[in-house]
Every structure is written in structure tokens, then in C-alpha cells.
Structure 1
């Protein structure tokens, strides 16, 4: 005979468990008759038949509601148990708010993009629809040229206009009911998030004891509130004055007498209703330049050769270097100026020095904390050529003999030696092949390996540098 009916209620999406334990000899076989009139004796995709005869209905939906009949049968007979299953759906919940209607006010900036969330949960899954100000219904998902409704219910409005100041209504609906979100959007034309006029982190080098101002100028609307964090972690807002610090209305922080106690990392923060930004300013104490040890006594350079004068300086900030030349001309930045070159490291190069380059060279290193200078006297060693080893005035030899005509000279810079032959050909280190059968050997010897009668004549040795020249003539007779 039929057993009594049991009523079971379960929320949609939950699991319903219907018990059906049966005893008998032999052990009864369990069957279930579903509301669809299907009969099962084993588990299916949505129904689990347990070993003790109980039936589980997973993720219960409204279609699972109805009468379930458990049948226990053996050769001695059968017995049944009835269940009435009621599946209760979950009404929509928008953005986690368990109320039927929510009103919220939001703002947006003109020409910007705005996202308005309408995340709805419920069983079965709610359908989301946005009602636009002109009573147009947009069901998720929807993608238009300027307005989109995403699958999760979020409304996206691009290129916000003043006319978008209105009410936007999100409705979430399922079989269990509906919920509503009313969004009152206000478009603000002039809102601007804070923006530093100099957005980069800075390093400021202060002169000890001299007032220093840190600048944190910022733009935005409404005007941002500016605050400063000191190296010790203390925060100062606008208008604060202490013995050492003063915050100004334009975002400045003035340090009256910087010292090692006030050096460090300062953080400037600017905030208004649409944004917040920060920047870092590192304050270091400067020190005046110090020129590293230079040459002791005058620097001697050889006329015609290059001269290097070094002026390496330390300081904070990094000092600039300027040179004052003996004639009064000043080179105050790295450059190439005629024969003078001023390098980045402060070294002065003088190309092909002459006697006019002698005198006092003054190097000055300067930064905001002070300066240092050094004077370097320069002596240019120079003398005109003087032939110290001459060939004889007249030299006689036989044909076929080797002839050497010696010619050595002193001078600063070192003289350049050349030989002029009887045929007017000039033999020099630059033109060693100008006279076949004749060789010029250092420092100035002329070699004729095998003299011939036509080699007879006047030979002139010339020694020359920038300051002058000297010459010697010998007459060679081949007889």
C-alpha cells in the first residue's frame, strides 16, 4: 500500500535529498518514479541514486518540482514512499544589495568614459535590462557605437556628454522576481584630476644655511589640496609654519636653514575629488668645488707640440669649469675654439703651442655653493734651428765610391732636415724617393751609395722649424 506523502522544499540551485531506506528478505530493489514519469534504478546526469536508496537531485530547478515515488520491491511484494518536492527560486540581488530598489548618485567627467556596474545574482540567472533616459530598453549583452551593456550587466558610456545627465535604470528579472537599480548620473564639465606642472621626481641641492624652496605646483579642478611628508615621516598641510619649515599656498615648502637634519626624501601629495598623485623630491646638501692637486710650478711645453692642462674638480652640484687664457679670453663651456679645446672633464688642450701661448692660465670651478680656482704658469720652450754637425765645404772622391754627407741640428721644436741636390731635387723624410741613387738617413745624413761624375755639384742641407732655419753647403767633386 502507499505510504504517506512527505513535503520537501529546496532553493533553486541547491541539492534536494529524498530518503528511501527499505528493509526486507531478500533485500528489496529500489526504483524511483520521477515527476516526468520516467523510472530510474541507477544514477543519471542530474539524479544520484545512493546505495541506501536515497535520491539526490543536484542544482534543483523549477522543472524538478513535483511528485517523486520511491518503490521498494522483492519477491514478497513492494512498498512505496511519496515525496512532494517544491523548488523555490532566488530573486535577483543587484551588486550584493538585498533590496528591491536602490537609488545611487554618480558623477562623470565630460568626454571621459563611465562604467556603471549592475551585477545581478539569483536563481535562475537573472536577465539584465537597462532603461535609457529616452525610454529605450537595452538587454545585456548590447554593443553600440557609444553605449554598451556588457554580459555582466555593466553599462559603459563613452565620450560622456552634458546631455547624459539623467536617470539610468537597471532591471534584473528572473522567475522569482525582479530588482531595480536607479542611477542618477551627473556630468561635470570642468573636473580635472591633479597634475603636477613638473611631473618628474627631482633632486635639489641646497647650500647649507641658505633658504631653499621645494616647488610642488599642481593644476586641477577643484583645486587640489597639497601636503608634504618630511624625511622623518611627518605630514604638513598648507599654511603650516615652524622654526624651519613653511608651506606656501602655491604648493611650495620653504626650508629656512638646510642642514644634515633636513636633508633627505620629501614627498609631495596632491588630492581632489577626482584623483590623487604624489612625487618625490630628494634634498641634498651641496658643497663648494675643490680643484684636485695640479702641477707644482710652471708647466713647460715644447713649441709646436700640444699642451694639456688638467683641472679636475669635485663638488655638489657638479661644478662647471672655465679657463681664462693669458690674453684674457675666457672659455666657459666645453668647446673647440681654434687651437683651444675645453673637454667635459675640465681639461684644456692647446694644439701646436707657440711662444705666444706662454703666460698664466687660470682655471675656475663654480657651482651654487661657491667656487675654487688655480693658476698654472706655462712656459713655452722654443729655439730656432742651429746646425751642429756640418759636412765639409768641399769633398773630393772617386767614381763608384760611397759618399756620406752628415747634417745634424738642434732646435725646439726639433728641426726638419732636407737636402737640395745639384739638380734642384729636394730629398726629405716626406719625399724619400725624390732622387734615385740618393738616400736620406736619420737624423739628416745624405748617402750616395755609388757616386758618379754627374753627382758632382753643390749640396745644401736645410734645418727648419717654426722659429726659423739654418743651412750648410758642401761641394762634391767626383774625379
Structure 2
């Protein structure tokens, strides 16, 4: 079946009518006794494409985020939509939306600006941590952002520890993922431990306040003089040495 077809009853069928089909159509009927004709004017109603978004708009997004650009249109027939990126070598730049149908076309431009993401830390920004003496602790500090931030820790005594700069105390170690390990903690290590994530776009901090708890025990006598001391009547006991183990810390 072609675009135009004359049916048995004389009707002219036009498939998928568009603007190009508008105009005058002549119907001619004839037989041995004569002829007759009918002139029909076909008007195809169409609306040109129109984009319902602003003609120029700007979108800002951090690196790594998903971006959606809308291009809502109207028209009759339904417009065909296409996108053109002016600078094909980069993601950022001007994106042009083109809506077109046989009645006309419309355009709108979106300027995409990609900005660096400031550094962040996944773990909670402030944490109170209690530990027992001789316990081994792991303090995580996971940084994220674009560019990827560097991590370092400031210990309770103000000293700085990085993955490439170990602490003077060998019991303290920072891993490349930002986690700080403290082995065999003591009450003297109680205090604030600050993790700092830094990049060219800024910095972020996490503070862990560590309290190493102490446990006290009752005093015990651990050393005395000889168990048996002999004295004559009237003698003077000059010294008695007694060592007492006072409060002990476990």
C-alpha cells in the first residue's frame, strides 16, 4: 500500500499526512454520458516545535555526580529531539537541545560547569572513645572528594603522623587508608586525636576523644623484714622495713 490509495467507493486515502501533502486534490468522475469533477483543498494542521525549557540555563555539578538535562517540548507532529555538544573533547561545556518537526525547529542551550568536590570524611565528625589499658585501637578516617584528599593525624601530644611519616612511638601507626592504630594504650595517651583530610579545594576534620580507663586494687604487702625477729628484754627495735604495693593499674 502506497501513500495515496483510491478506494472502491472513490475515497482518496492519504497515509501519514504531513505538511507536504497539503494542497488541492481534484476528483474526476466520468462515463459514457459525461464527466464531473470535485476540487478538494487539504489543510494539514501542524504546530512548529517549541522547547518549554529556558533558552539558556546553567547547571553546576561536582565531579563524579550524575547530571540530567531535561528538554521538554511540544509540537504537532511530536518533535524529534537531538543533543549536540559543542566541545566534544570535554564533558563540561555547552549542550544544545534541538527539537524539530516538519513545521519548524527550536533550540535551547545548557551550560554544564563541573566543579571539584571539597574533601569529606565518611565517619562521624566527633567521637568519644573509652578503652582499657593495653588495648589495641583502630581509629578509621576515610576521606573522599575530587581531587582525592590526603590524610594525616594530629596526636594527643600535638605530633603529626602520616602514612609516610611514622610516629616516634612505634606502637602508633597510620595505614594508607587513613586508619590510625594504637597498640597497648596507656592512660598517658588519653586526649584528642584529630584526623585532617586536605586537598586543593579545602579541608575536613574528625576529632576522636580517647579516654583510657584505669582500675585500682586494694593495697598488698609484698616485702617485709625477716619473719622472726628476736629481741632481749629492754632492747630497742630500730627499724622494720615494710614495702606496700599501693594502688596498681591493670
When the two structures are superposed, what TM-score results if normalisation uses the length of structure 1?
0.23
Q: Which protein is bigger by CA-based radius of gyration?
A: 1
Which of the pair has the greater relative contact order for Cα pairs under 8 Å at 6+ separation? 2
Bigger strand fraction: 1
When the two structures are superposed, what TM-score results if normalisation uses the length of structure 2?
0.42
